[in-house]
Structure 1
Amino acid sequence: MKRLIQLGLCLTIFNFHLIAGEIKGKIVSDDNSPIPNVNLILIGTKYGASTDLNGNFVISNVPPAKYKLQISAIGYETKVVEVNLFKTNYVELKIKLNQAPIEIQSIIVSAQKFQSQEDTRTSLINVEPKSAKMLPGAGEDVLRTLQSLPGVQAINDFSSQLVIRGSGPDQNLIVFDDVEIFNPYRLYGAISMFNPETVEDINLITGGFPARYGDRLSAVLDVKNREGITSNYISGNVNVNLSNANVILEGKTPFGLNGSWIFNSRRTYYDLILEPFVKSAGLVKGDFSFPNFYDFQFKTSVIPSRGHKLSLLAVHSKDGVELITNGRRVQPDSFGVVDQSFNNVYALSHQYSSKNISNKLIFSFYNNSGKTNFDSKFLDPTLNRKDFDGEISDTVYQYLLNFSFNSFFDFRKYSIEDRFLFFSGKSNFEIGTGLDLMYTEIKFDLNLDPQLRAILNSFSSFRSVIDKFKSNLDYWRFKLYGQANFPLNESNKIFISPGLRFDYYDILRKSYISPRIGLSYAIDDITTLRGFYGIFYQSPGYEKLRDQNILFDFSRKYSDDLQAEKAIHYILSFERFLTTEWQFKSEIYLKEFRNLIVPLKVKGTQFSTNLISGRDPKYVTSWTEPIAISADSMTAIPVNNSSGKSYGLEIFLAKVNKEKSSKLDGWISYSLSFSNREESGKIIPFRFEQRHTFNLVLNYKFIESLEFGLRWQYGSGLPYTKPVGIKPRILLKDTNGDGVGDTPEIATKFNLNPEAPKEVIFNIDYGVDPNFYNSRKPDYHRLDIRISYYSYFWKLNWLFYLDVINVYNRKNVVGYDYYINSNLQLERRETYQLPIFPTIGISVRF
């Protein structure tokens, strides 16, 4: 009897697998165009999928039953259809979704969309656009929203730049509607160019990105703007808060054309609100404006015939500030700055799609330019600023240092790219090619006070100061790649994605081949294991230096000897659904960096003096005559003389399937990361190495019209260089009258009495190279909340919200200002990041 029962169970299990069903189909819009990235969920189960670029989907190994299939996509009405797998084990559907305005209500604050088990991409996070709008403390900004995800950290509260898995912002590729963007930041990094009201898709790949993407070492952010609605000729949305206004207009294309258009514009008004207050307080004078920006974005898509789509994108933005400080300020410093920067994007694309193929041809132009005029007088940084509060510039002129510069840059890129995709069952193949023509111009003119130059030269590894720099450099890039995704066995449990990329960098006159491979294994219906190995290259270029805050000479005499920077990625990912809504994901990764470009170090000269035993260090007579010593000095010449490593563990728990009745959603992320750099045999921490990061994001809907959201973030301390002491400041004195310093002497304080003993001016001593990043700042943590209230009156949808950054007013240290007190002891002042900062806002859709 026991064997009969066992045999019966085996037959039952065998029969289940025989009759396990499959649901496949295609999702299209009103005009029968395929809709990619549609979420499909069998309600109440763990089964689901998302559509590919051709609108196709497959849900496999579904037990026989009656189901309700929920289909949802941004910008379309959600649809639910019934599926019966009792009658048949195979169902094929073609579902048409109707376009609809994006409602203010029913916001989904979800970390990511559903990723199919057939998708081999590791480190992929597909963010719901509304997360960027509703996440507490993110300022309705896409890049700041990404800073709450595993493997991603912020530089500080004032910047939207992304540090990903031990790599700097310059190593991230940012793509907007198929156009590579060099500078996506606005308001000097405070916010980004991406408007959360109009973004359709946000894909962040924190490592192991496919062969389509290249010329970067770390990560890819691919953002796509949505198309306008086609249900009305005009519709709109206005969002206003304390810092900016955001206007969106959209509708169906006129003149009988089958298509849509969307226009949006944003503008800050710090200059309109803060300027009158600051001017009346006497803190500034003359013609000035506070930092401000505006941008315009326009996109239109037209379908001239079945399967064809033409799209046009245009973006224009301007950032600017004009400021002259007044002598009535508490501090004696003064400065004047005039700064402007511009970004322009124009792109035209044609896409053809049929049942099994898709081809997209893109022409684009991108321009990023700007100019700066800066002039200042500021207090010697080695002095205690509090000792000079209330003093005017004229009374402390001997302690003020002059610093001024003028700069100009202009980066232009003309691009053509073509991508061809072929679909066959569960397999897809893609080949693509592209050409970029780059035109870059940089001008830089610097004037330094001799005392300030001496302070800078006191750093043992400080770059030799470049007073003037001018470069006009034109170069081009070519790419050719192929990638595929297909099953390795008949059970469709194992998928492989091989890829190969060829790049030619004219700036180096060299070519590179990058192999990449991804693998996914469906352990069961709710558990997926993924792995990746790949090689990545990044060419040098002035367009990448904005994120490095460094200047290299990439003229031919130096670039011909350079190699492209190289990174090798190893990634292993584990993913499992804990319930039908909550998904657990963990990844381990290793990145090896090679041929990193750093400034060439040459043997230079520094001057040293020693304290005479038993003497008072306060006076110049207590020190020996300065003598020349050999020391390394950095230049602007680029060399491949650095390497590095980054490795870590990431854990992510997120609600990826949210039913409409659900009240709670959000995510939890934790990252453990180690990263370093090696140069000339010395290993130092990466300057943004944050060992531990934790994020908790929750959103709770009390009632249909009231939601509460919170975000708590924690990060362990970032490295910084702690000074080791003080040393006399040494200047070069001009003794022969030729205007060039030639004789070293110890700098002394000004004294009206020529008979008084001369007192030494000291510099802060930061030690030599091994001392770099020898300490850690305090841990960072902060709580942000957001309360949202929805209403409907005057036949309009309204949203009223309160957003509070840093609720408990944590004083997070961004840096330290060291100074020397009267007893010749080092002291420091902390500079802090954002304090508690509330914002109220209103959004209305018409």
Structure 2
Amino acid sequence: MTKHKKLIARAGCLHLALSIPLYALAVPDAPALRGVVTDRHGRALEHADVLVQDAGGNTIAHAQTGSDGRFEVGRLTSGTYALIIDAQNFSSNTRIETIEAGKPREIDIALEQGSALDVNIDAQRLDRARNGFQPDIGASVYRVTQSDIDVMPQGQNTPLNQVLLQMPGIANDSYGQLHVRGDHADLQYRINGILIPEPISGFGQSFDSRIVGQLNLVTGALPAEYGYRTAGIVDIKTKAGELGQGGSIDVYGGSHQTLQESADVFGSQGPLSYYFSGSHGVNNLGIESPTASGSPPHDHTQRSNGFGYMSYIVNPLTRVSVMFGTSTNWFQLPNTPGLPIQYSLQGVSSVDSRNLNETQSELNNFAVIALQGTNGGKLDYQIALSTRYSRTQFNPDTIGDLSFNGVASSDFHSDQTNGLQTDFVYRLNEKHTLRAGVMAQQEHADFNHSVSVFPVDANGNQASDVPFGINDSSSKSGYLYSAYLQDEWKLTDKLRLNYGMRYDKLNEYVDASQLSPRIGLIYQPTNATTLHAGYARYFTPPSFELVSPSTIGLFNGTTNQSAGTQNDPVKPERAHYFDVGLEQKLTQNLTVGLDAYYKIAHDLLDEGQFGTALIFTPFNYRHGRVYGVELTTSYKKDNVSAYLNIAYSRAQGKNVQSAQFNFESDELSYIAGNWVFLDHDQRLTASFGGAYTFGNTTLSADGIVGSGLRSGFANTDKQPFYAQLDLGAIERFNEPYIGKFSARLVLVNAFNRVYQLRSGSGIGVQAPQFGPQRAIYAGLTKTF
């Protein structure tokens, strides 16, 4: 195929993306299209070809530049056209232009040598279109870039939950849990704008920080396209390969027999770009220690993560993307020495709690295929299909668990989710931008619990030292449907309004639906000042994969019988959410922000660990109220950066309305008549950090501070104040034969403050956990 024919074939694909059928006809008084073609240095390019195509992909005009690089195309009707410019030894360039009657169009076009620029320009155009699906009007947005993660003490080996902990209003918890603005978890993860169905809640990290190109945490009164999980939207834009070839290999290890190997690679080949990442690690501190010991017995962990992203530019206005990920985690549950035996087991005279062998394994796989397009002007769209499989297996130490707890349960949960997500943006005019979309999700969950128990008498005392088994198995399918429509209205150059409506329908253990209005306002009186305010009505379904419909009566007369028999179904949470905030640039380098929020909830959702397995169980409070305020500051100038976030929060609930059998009768009665703090409530939360670079050396620090989570009967007590400071040093090298590489030294909990996150008491709290003690790690990273 000749070069000219290839060019025409490529241009012919454009008719799929142009939304309005236009037929260009030669007429005497048509407006002219003029321009100049140069190289990137501004030098005129002679004999460059300029093809003009209509919406059907038909070439309706052709011109060639003269010695001054100028061209002119006359006799075109008003409409939208594709211009394809090509010159020998230069990459092609494609422009979408709209011609208006009586207004000659002047165009300056610069061509680059090579073939990568076309793909890069097309990818940037489509990235801008994808970003348009997710406005942040009325919400609070906090951003972390790849370079921000690189200078953290642990760099890209920082677990993603610890990256998020450096953002405002996020309380730390055991098992890697995060609580945003007083909510239990309720985080939604999106990768490149596509919702990733949540896995079964355990304690493994499903995503690796090294895949992050930019991470946004969106909280507050969210626009209408955000539903399902609404405490916070963790929106990850992954690394990509459009800008060239490269990658890295990383080895990281140190205290607690930690060793982790990681690698990633990125690049492009014509219209195909790719990014792949993988890591594998082991350590002896996978789960927080249940005692003040820095090295708990039986706490070995293995973790592996993999991620892949590929995109193919079908034509300058259309892209197909595929991404997939996997995480496998295997944990030993750490032991507490010296526990007294509570139950008699035939043939067993003694059991040392130091030597128990409980383990838990987790697997999470997901895959997404997406079609994204734009017509270069008014319409952008994205259609995505997703699937996710998640499973968790808890393996008991049968002899030990029977001796200490009277129950030994092998628990298996699995969940398969398939989803469809569509989003559209239509720019009606300069004042109005419409956004709309639908989402459908189908889940199927399987539960299998093999439980060994002892019989008990009428008073609940052990009646025999011979255990017997009970199998409690079930399965369930559920469905979730959503649709939204909203308008971004530019009232003035400084004032924008985003208003819309969202509809959610739930068909799982309960049938429920809600029509939810959303409204957000953003005002920028100056370039240095931004104010926002918003209101959102929320509808939050419980985590389907955690609502195991156990038959309570199966365990009557055993050591696993419940304190009560009431087990009302878990319902979706319905809430009114208000948010107002201010961001002010005090100087060119210093920015401060202040944000306040208030949530009034009905059937407030919470989760607790009510058994030995590290699997959480949802339940509802009839009434809930959550409110708080956040202060953020950031400073960046040349080689110095720093930030400080301080948050105040209160989260309370009243009257448990579902899964009541998990509670003792006296606690249930107290909560029915009193407002109680949620177990994850923390009055004060702070995070801080900074980095200083001189020459090839970077010194960095980050830390967290908390006033303590709740504990005691009905959460009436709290844990002590705690703080942790991590330090890091990075040295960069560029040596002959070796090339570029860096060395890193990390000191975790530099002041070795021993602090307790959980005491083992409180609503839905099963065991105590302590924060990490001082540890030293080192790493080497080779880039290529």
Q: Shorter-chain TM-score category?
A: 0.5 to 0.7
Q: Tell me the CA shift for residue 121 of structure 1.
A: 3.4
Closer, same or farther: CA 374–574 of 1 in aligned 2, 3 Å: same
Answer yes or no: is 1:596 the counterpart of 2:534: no
Kindly provide the CA deviation profile for residues 640-679 of structure 1, in whole angstroms up to 9, marking residues without a partner as x: 6522111111100113xx56xx121121111111111111
Map 1:540-559 onto structure 2 (within 5 A).
540-543=542-545
CA contact (8 A) 1:314 1:344 kept: yes
Distance 2:172 2:691 in 1: 22
Closer, same or farther: CA 692–447 of 1 in aligned 2, 3 Å: same
CA contact (8 A) 1:368 1:412 kept: yes
Match of 2:580 among 563, 567, 572: 572
Distance 2:226 2:551 in 1: 27
Which residue identity lines up with residue 206 of structure 2 in the other structure? M
Kindly provide the CA deviation profile for residues 510-563 of structure 1, in whole angstroms up to 9, marking residues without a partner as x: 321111100011232211211010100012343255xxxx87779xxx999775
Distance 2:401 2:473 in 1: 30
Closer, same or farther: CA 650–215 of 1 in aligned 2, 3 Å: same
- Per the alignment, residue 294 of structure 1 pairs with 304
CA contact (8 A) 1:333 1:376 kept: no
- Per the alignment, residue 493 of structure 1 pairs with 494
Match of 1:783 among 705, 721, 725: 725
CA contact (8 A) 1:184 1:193 kept: no
Kindly provide the CA deviation profile for residues 205-263 of structure 1, in whole angstroms up to 9, marking residues without a partner as x: 1221221111234222122322224534xx3201110131111122223xxx4121121
Kindly provide the CA deviation profile for residues 561-589 of structure 1, in whole angstroms up to 9, marking residues without a partner as x: 77521121111101110011211100111
Q: Tell me the CA shift for residue 341 of structure 1.
A: 2.0
Map 1:121-136 onto structure 2 (within 5 A).
121-136=138-153
- Per the alignment, residue 695 of structure 1 pairs with 687
3-state SS of paired residue (1:296): strand
Match of 1:313 among 305, 318, 323: 323
Q: Tell me the CA shift for residue 428 of structure 1.
A: 2.3
Kindly provide the CA deviation profile for residues 736-768 of structure 1, in whole angstroms up to 9, marking residues without a partner as x: xxxxxxxxxxxxxxxxxxxxxxxxxxxxxxxxx
Match of 2:449 among 426, 441, 444: 444
Which residue identity lines up with residue 498 of structure 1 in the other structure? Y
- Per the alignment, residue 607 of structure 1 pairs with none
- Per the alignment, residue 69 of structure 1 pairs with none
Which residue identity lines up with residue 265 of structure 1 in the other structure? G
- Per the alignment, residue 176 of structure 2 pairs with 160
Answer yes or no: is 1:803 the counterpart of 2:760: no
3-state SS of paired residue (1:197): helix
Closer, same or farther: CA 682–119 of 1 in aligned 2, 3 Å: closer
Which residue identity lines up with residue 433 of structure 2 in the other structure? N
Which residue identity lines up with residue 724 of structure 2 in the other structure? R
CA contact (8 A) 2:137 2:223 kept: no
- Per the alignment, residue 839 of structure 1 pairs with 777
CA contact (8 A) 2:138 2:579 kept: no
Structure 2 stretches of 5 or more lacking a match?
1-39, 41-105, 118-130, 254-258, 287-295, 339-349, 463-468, 553-565, 608-615, 656-671, 762-766
3-state SS of paired residue (2:147): helix
Kindly provide the CA deviation profile for residues 669-690 of structure 1, in whole angstroms up to 9, marking residues without a partner as x: 1111111111123211111111
Closer, same or farther: CA 203–325 of 1 in aligned 2, 3 Å: closer
- Per the alignment, residue 738 of structure 1 pairs with none
Q: Tell me the CA shift for residue 338 of structure 1.
A: 4.8
TM-score (norm 1): 0.63
Answer yes or no: is 1:666 the counterpart of 2:642: yes
Which residue identity lines up with residue 224 of structure 1 in the other structure? K
Kindly provide the CA deviation profile for residues 684-715 of structure 1, in whole angstroms up to 9, marking residues without a partner as x: 111111111222211111x2201111123221
Which residue identity lines up with residue 240 of structure 1 in the other structure? V
Distance 2:581 2:448 in 1: 46
Counting aligned pairs with the same residue, the percent is: 18
- Per the alignment, residue 530 of structure 2 pairs with 528
Q: Tell me the CA shift for residue 451 of structure 1.
A: 8.8
CA contact (8 A) 2:474 2:549 kept: no
Closer, same or farther: CA 585–696 of 1 in aligned 2, 3 Å: same
Kindly provide the CA deviation profile for residues 59-93 of structure 1, in whole angstroms up to 9, marking residues without a partner as x: xxxxxxxxxxxxxxxxxxxxxxxxxxxxxxxx999
Distance 1:475 1:331 in 2: 44
Map 1:357-506 onto structure 2 (within 5 A).
357-378=379-400, 402-423=406-427, 424-425=429-430, 427-448=432-453, 468-489=471-492, 492-506=493-507
Q: Tell me the CA shift for residue 805 of structure 1.
A: 0.9
Closer, same or farther: CA 643–246 of 1 in aligned 2, 3 Å: same
- Per the alignment, residue 43 of structure 1 pairs with none
Answer yes or no: is 1:269 the counterpart of 2:282: yes
Kindly provide the CA deviation profile for residues 346-375 of structure 1, in whole angstroms up to 9, marking residues without a partner as x: 111111122222111111111112323212
3-state SS of paired residue (1:772): helix
- Per the alignment, residue 628 of structure 1 pairs with none
Distance 1:707 1:377 in 2: 52
Closer, same or farther: CA 213–801 of 1 in aligned 2, 3 Å: same
Distance 1:96 1:478 in 2: 47
Q: How many residues align?
A: 585
Closer, same or farther: CA 451–122 of 1 in aligned 2, 3 Å: same
Distance 1:456 1:295 in 2: 46
CA contact (8 A) 2:642 2:691 kept: yes
Distance 1:595 1:264 in 2: 41
Distance 2:458 2:111 in 1: 68
CA contact (8 A) 2:221 2:534 kept: yes
Map 1:248-259 onto structure 2 (within 5 A).
248-253=264-269, 257-259=270-272
Q: Tell me the CA shift for residue 433 of structure 1.
A: 0.9
Closer, same or farther: CA 129–778 of 1 in aligned 2, 3 Å: same
Distance 2:351 2:110 in 1: 68
- Per the alignment, residue 662 of structure 2 pairs with none
Which residue identity lines up with residue 445 of structure 1 in the other structure? S
- Per the alignment, residue 304 of structure 1 pairs with 314
CA contact (8 A) 1:133 1:196 kept: no
3-state SS of paired residue (2:539): strand
- Per the alignment, residue 706 of structure 2 pairs with 715
Closer, same or farther: CA 445–420 of 1 in aligned 2, 3 Å: same
Kindly provide the CA deviation profile for residues 393-417 of structure 1, in whole angstroms up to 9, marking residues without a partner as x: xxxxxx7555421121111111112
Distance 1:335 1:453 in 2: 31
- Per the alignment, residue 595 of structure 2 pairs with 587
Map 1:42-81 onto structure 2 (within 5 A).
none
CA contact (8 A) 1:333 1:377 kept: no
3-state SS of paired residue (1:131): helix
Structure 1 stretches of 5 or more lacking a match?
1-28, 30-90, 101-113, 274-282, 381-398, 458-465, 600-635, 722-770, 819-828
Q: Tell me the CA shift for residue 791 of structure 1.
A: 0.9
CA contact (8 A) 1:528 1:576 kept: yes
- Per the alignment, residue 289 of structure 2 pairs with none
Match of 1:189 among 178, 181, 203: 203
TM-score (norm 2): 0.67
Distance 1:293 1:141 in 2: 12
Q: Tell me the CA shift for residue 315 of structure 1.
A: 1.5
Answer yes or no: is 1:172 the counterpart of 2:182: no
Q: Tell me the CA shift for residue 175 of structure 1.
A: 2.4
Distance 2:394 2:689 in 1: 39
Distance 1:481 1:799 in 2: 47
Which residue identity lines up with residue 784 of structure 1 in the other structure? D
3-state SS of paired residue (1:543): helix
Closer, same or farther: CA 378–407 of 1 in aligned 2, 3 Å: closer
Q: Tell me the CA shift for residue 193 of structure 1.
A: 2.9
3-state SS of paired residue (1:801): strand
Which residue identity lines up with residue 430 of structure 1 in the other structure? R
Distance 1:94 1:483 in 2: 36
3-state SS of paired residue (2:198): coil
Which residue identity lines up with residue 202 of structure 1 in the other structure? L
Single out whichever of 474-483 and 222-231 deviates more from structure 2: 222-231
CA contact (8 A) 2:623 2:654 kept: yes
Map 1:670-689 onto structure 2 (within 5 A).
670-679=646-655, 680-689=672-681
Distance 2:459 2:695 in 1: 64
- Per the alignment, residue 341 of structure 1 pairs with 362
